[in-house]
Structure 1
Amino acid sequence: MGKSRFHWLLFLCLRLTGSFRRCPLSNRTLIIASACVVYLLVVVSQIGYSQQHRRIDKDKDRYTRGLYHLDPTVDAGFVVPTRSNVVYITLKSKRLKPAHIRGTIRPKLRRKVRRNNVGKSAFTQKKLGTLEQDAGQTKRNTSRGETRDVYYKSLEIINLSLKMNEQAVSGISSIRIYSQKAPPWLSPQDVKDMRFLADAKVLRMKEVSRGDSPSLLVFEAETSVSRSKLRHAERSSVCGGQCGVISSPVDTTEVFAFHLDRVLGLNRTLPAVSRKFSFLHDGQPCPVVSWDASLYPEGRAAGWSTVKMTWGEYQSSLKQRCWHKNISPKPDSGCSTVHHYEWSKLALFDFLLQIHNRLDQSCCGFRPRQEDVCVELGHKTECGDQNHIQLTNIIHRGHDPRHLVFTNNKGFFDRNEDNLDFRLLEGIKEFPEQAVLVLKNKRLREKLLQSLFLDQTYWESQGGRQGIDKLIDVIERRAGVLLTYINAHGIKGITMNV
């Protein structure tokens, strides 16, 4: 069978060869050319097919050798990663910082702290409401003579999860000082107080009632304080160690006011920082101001050491320059215990922040809004007889009646330049020279940026550099108005180191 097929194929080839020889030369040339083209196409297609399969095999070998492997229990078309050698890059928006700050910051290695959010403290706003009810019950019991005239409720924070959280957070301070020294306008005691307010572990909390004024929420952290402060603390019966007063999240001006006060060289406000408490105000940043027991009279924690005087008496004391050059005023002069220079510092500070609750509680010097307290309480109607309007929030330390302490610094950044309260400047004939020089030298922005940058929680809560710049813009425009007022009225800048 095989031989017959071979003979048949040989016979066919001989017949085709004979026919090919008998064909004309042109036909033979065309047949040969066509056969060559067909052969060339077949060869090229085979080469391309083999190279493609070689590349696929190489890729499969590379992936299956290291990064991936085929799982026999899974579909053959699905690959499972076996090692995490892929680096993911997250792009963050770069926060702009002032040039001076960028030049002084050096990298600081921070140890990562694992925060445990499980089981947070159950101290919520609902418990604060219960706290206020308990405080009211305490007042009723006091009227029966069961307790003293100091009303407060102590809250022992014994939740273990809260303590663990406080200990974990204490390793990372929100007060960031990367250079060897803090800005020169902040004293070592200021920095120490700021670190305490921002990082101290909360041991207990107390709500202190102040009569008709809103109550204070005070936290106590440690008992190692100086002897002088300890004596005042024992008198106050409120804080046995070092404490801080927690304000509402809407009172963030307290923090800005503290830094503005130090930059201007007035040094009349209490240290203040911004801090988050997991058990208060849903974790929002709250202003925390240093507690100073010397601001309260001996034996009474519910009232300030205040100066009682009317607007007319205040203007009269400005004309008499009370206690100037340490000359004691006459007994019938009507002078208060406050030194004459203190009113100049207060007026400058209050004008820049537009704080009217001290010298202009009735809002007589500007156009108030309907939601302002002076309008709601009807104080605006008192402006007809301004001399008898009582000044409020004029506070000094019990052992230092010559110098004021600026507290409750609720400023307003949304008041335009055409509605500023110039009544705050009435009767002022001189301003502190150091503060005026800061305004004239155009260094207010630079110093405020450096100072506010230290408080990371406040900086971020205001929107970073962009938000802080907007606040400083307002203060700078008011500073320009104040300088124009100084030049127009011939007000002098003098040294006020008293």
Structure 2
Amino acid sequence: MLSLSLQVQRPWRRTGLKPPAPAALAVLLALALLALARLTPPPHHPLHPLPASSPPAPWQEVAAPLSRGRAPSGRVPVLQEQPHGRGRRQRRGAAGDAPPWFSDDDLQKMQLLASGQVVSKTRIPAHGQVLRVGLQAIGDAGRDSAPERDCQDGHCGLIKRPRDLYEVLAFHLDRVLGLNRSLPAVARRFTSHLLPYSYTNGSLRPIIWWAPDLQHLEDANNDQNSCALGWLQYQEMLRPHGPMPADGDAPCSSIPRGEWSRLALFDFLLQVHDRLDRYCCGFEPDPSEPCMEEMLHEKCRNPAELVLVHILVRRSAPSRLVFIDNAGKPQHPEEKLNFRLLQGIDSFPASAVATLRSGRLQSLLLESLRVDRELWESHGGAEGLRPLLRTIDRRARILLRHIREHNLTVFEDTSQQ
């Protein structure tokens, strides 16, 4: 202790100053220890959480859980993107990662259709109960709305009849198979005061995204086509070395044969007759079929009179077909399957055929349909949807048998997007 006291005093002797009093030295030592304690946190000290008012990460959104109760009208899972790895962003949905067959653009359009506020409505001439509505996305409340401009900006949808709900399943089938030719669609219940009561009475309706640049013929009697194509012309186009359509018919001449293969496969699984066989020439129709009521079936005796309908492309992609009006016939009996839809098709996209052969079509469709909460719950979930999916799966097996028995080929699809 004595030696310590001497060591402390020596520096003061060298400076010529008097050593501090013992009491003052004790105070200095205490202050030094206190400062050191404040600079060094005690071990195992827990990190403080951010205050409740702290903002979330810039790209983070709230995801609505699928498993609890009923969501607000028509809600699909909201994407949640969180930091992941080195600067990567992981897309998240309410039930986990969004299925890989949906693009970011698909998910954004589905969210707009499912939860966008209806800000305008327009009747579609000669289309009965179909309404075109302008939609305002959540967060766009300050955005000025004008019906025509909204539609040109991609903020419109078509509300169709409750019996057209099959179009939502068709959209999911299209994406699961990697065709990517149909427009995004969701099931939704509407409450907007702008809509007629028949649209807000609680019934579930499909709403399909309105593509602003669909190419339509100027002919008022044939405005549901991008090009006028007859059945005999179409069959000639499908021949391996057949000529393309007549010169000057730009929209049709730009459509490669692979597009017709995608359309035929899709229409066969759904039994959509309106495009390739609106006259019901490939099966014996019931008297209640539109082709019978409109006396179209009688024209089957003269193939030169038969035309294709709803053959559409977009101005931004004139070489790719757009599949619209895909409700099809979920109850069409197996013994009446329309094989005329496949006539002239000698190859199919390899990726779609591989999915059909995998034996996982039903499970993939269930994974996809789970995203559309309104459709999922209204049909009783997986158990309620399985009969419908089994029908699609049986048609897929019949199509595979057709491919095998006719020794048809597959082609690598390099233009799925």
- The two structures have a TM-score, normalised by structure 2, of 0.70
C-alpha contact 1:175 1:198 (8 A) present in aligned 2: no
Would the alpha carbon gap of residues 183 and 238 (structure 1) be closer, same or farther in structure 2, given more than 3 Å must change? Answer: closer
Inter-partner Cα distance in structure 2 for 1:354 and 1:317 = 22
Q: Is the 8 A contact 1:310 1:391 kept in 2?
A: yes
For 2:213, what is the secondary structure of its paired residue?
A: helix
Distance of 2:376 and 2:236 partners within structure 1: 42
Which of 416, 420, 425 is matched with 2:333 structurally? 416
Compute the displacement of 1:400 (Å).
2.1
Residue number in structure 2 paired with 1:287: 206
Code of the residue aligned with 1:190 in structure 2: it is D
> How far does residue 305 in structure 1 lie from its aligned partner after superposition?
5.1
- Does 2:309 correspond to 1:309? no
Aligned mate of 1:201, from 107, 112, 117: 117
Match of 2:40 in 1: none
Q: Trace 1:386-405 onto structure 2 (pairs within 5 A).
A: 386-405=303-322
| 1:350 counterpart residue number | 267
Paired letter, 1:259: H
User: Does 1:259 pair with 2:167?
Assistant: no
**Is the 2:151–2:210 contact (alpha carbons within 8 Å) kept by the matching residues of 1?**
no
Q: What residue in structure 2 maps to residue 33 of structure 1?
A: none
Q: Is the Cα–Cα contact under 8 Å of residues 175 and 194 in structure 1 kept in the other structure? A: no
* Bigger radius of gyration: 1
Q: How does 1:6-405 map to 2 (within 5 A)?
A: 108=65, 169=72, 173-175=75-77, 177-209=93-125, 212-214=126-128, 216-222=130-136, 242-278=155-191, 279=197, 280=199, 282-297=201-216, 303-304=223-224, 306-320=226-240, 331=247, 336-405=253-322
Counterpart-to-counterpart distance in 2, 1:448 and 1:491? 26
Question: Is the 1:353–1:411 Cα contact (8 Å) retained in structure 2?
Answer: yes
- Does the 8 Å contact 1:222/1:241 carry over to 2? no
SS of the aligned residue for 2:321 comes to strand
Give the aligned partner of residue 445 of structure 1: 362
| CA 237–182 in structure 1, closer or farther in 2 if over 3 Å, else same | closer
Partners of 1:274 and 1:457 within 8 A in 2 = yes
Q: Identify the structure with the greater helix proportion.
A: 1
Q: Indicate if the aligned counterparts of 1:204 and 1:221 stay in contact, CA closer than 8 A.
A: yes
Say yes or no: does 1:477 pair with 2:390. no
Letter in 2 for 1:264: L
In structure 2, the partner of 1:428 is 345
Q: Deviations over 1:217-259 (max 9, x none)?
A: 111123899xxxxxxx96x885566111100101011100000
> Would you say the 8 A contact 1:223–1:241 is kept in 2?
no
Measure the CA separation in 1 of the matches of 2:242 and 2:122.
39
Relative distance call for 1:412 and 1:111 in structure 2 (3 A) is closer
> Does the residue aligned with 1:295 lie in a helix, a strand or coil?
coil
Contact 2:76–2:110 under 8 Å retained in 1: no
* Runs of 5+ consecutive residues of structure 1 not aligned to the other structure: 1-105, 114-167, 226-232
Aligned residues: 324
Which region of structure 1 is more displaced relative to structure 2, 329-338 or 289-298? 329-338
Normalised TM-score (structure 1): 0.59
The 1:112/1:270 distance shift into structure 2, 3 A limit, reads: closer
Q: What secondary structure sits across from 1:466 in the alignment?
A: helix
* Counterpart-to-counterpart distance in 2, 1:451 and 1:352: 17
CA distance in 2 between counterparts of 1:200 and 1:107 reads 16
Separation of aligned partners in 1, 2:236 and 2:128: 31
Give the CA deviation at 1:188. 1.0
- State yes or no: 1:464 paired with 2:389: no
Q: How far 1:309 sits from its partner (Å)?
A: 0.7
Letter of the structure 2 residue corresponding to residue 201 of structure 1: Q
Cα distance in 2 between the residues matched to 1:109 and 1:491 = 42
Give the aligned CA root-mean-square deviation in angstroms. 3.4
- After superposition, the Cα gap between the structure-2 partners of 1:111 and 1:455, relative to the gap in structure 1 and judged at 3 Å, is closer
Quote the Cα distance in structure 1 between the aligned partners of 2:156 and 2:219. Answer: 17
Q: Deviations over 1:187-206 (max 9, x none)?
A: 11111111111111112222
Pick 1 or 2: higher relative contact order, CA cutoff 8 A, min separation 6.
2
Contact kept in structure 1, 2:154 and 2:212, CA below 8 Å: no
Deviation at 1:345, TM superposition (A): 0.2
* TM-superposed deviation, 1:428: 0.5
CA-to-partner distance for each residue in 1:348-394, whole Å, 9 max, x for gaps?
00000000000000001012111110010001101111243011111
Contact 2:158 2:207 in 1 (8 A): yes
**CA pair 297-485 structure 1, distance change in 2 beyond 3 A:** closer
